[in-house]
Amino acid sequence: MPGRKVLIILSSGTDSFCQADFRQVLEAAEDSGVPICPINIGPLLKAAVLPAGEGSNEAPYGHLKWQRASQQLSRLARVSGCRAFTPSSSMDLPAVYDGLLANLGHACIGPPWNAARLH
């Protein structure tokens, strides 16, 4: 398929089954040359499953490293030449999608894609 590719992922960033460590994921992202634009739904999920808030040890989600997952999604986006989007509510998702489409269609993604337009 001609033109640039982009990967948009909807994720909490938490790792439950991955056999690669985060360093390997970053290397693969860099090597692919494809911008990865995560939509981080971690804060929304955390609010839904841990109503007691940060530091709650309620099973089975209390052990998840929510802040670390958010930071990793942001880093993955930066390394690949995009940025992470973190909606503050599910009502923000349409605006996030609209923003992504507008940016991908009319603007350039950061280095090394700053000279190419995405279609």
Instruction: Kindly state whether residue 116 falls inside one of the protein's structural domains.
Output: no
Return the structure tokens found at 26: 């970053």
Residue-wise DSSP of 43-83:
HHHHHHH-TT-TT---TTTTT--HHHHHHHHHHHHHHHT--
Closest to 8 in 3D by CA, of 80, 116, 71, 60: 80
- pTM for the structure as a whole: 0.76
In-domain check, residue 2 = no
Please check whether residue 67 lies inside any domain of the structure.
yes
pLDDT at 91: 93
Domain count, the chain: 1
Quick check: is 85 in a domain? yes
* Angle value at C-alpha 9, between 24 and 83, nearest 5 degrees: 80
The domain of 80 spans 7-106
User: In angstroms, what CA-CA distances link 61 with 10, 43, 67, 72?
Assistant: 19, 13, 13, 18
| Within-domain flag for 118 | no
> Tens digit of pLDDT for each residue in 9-65?
999 998 777 788 899 999 999 999 999 999 999 999 888 887 665 555 666 777 788
Q: Are 57 and 28 in contact (CB under 8 A)?
A: no
On whether residue 26 sits in a domain, the answer given is: yes
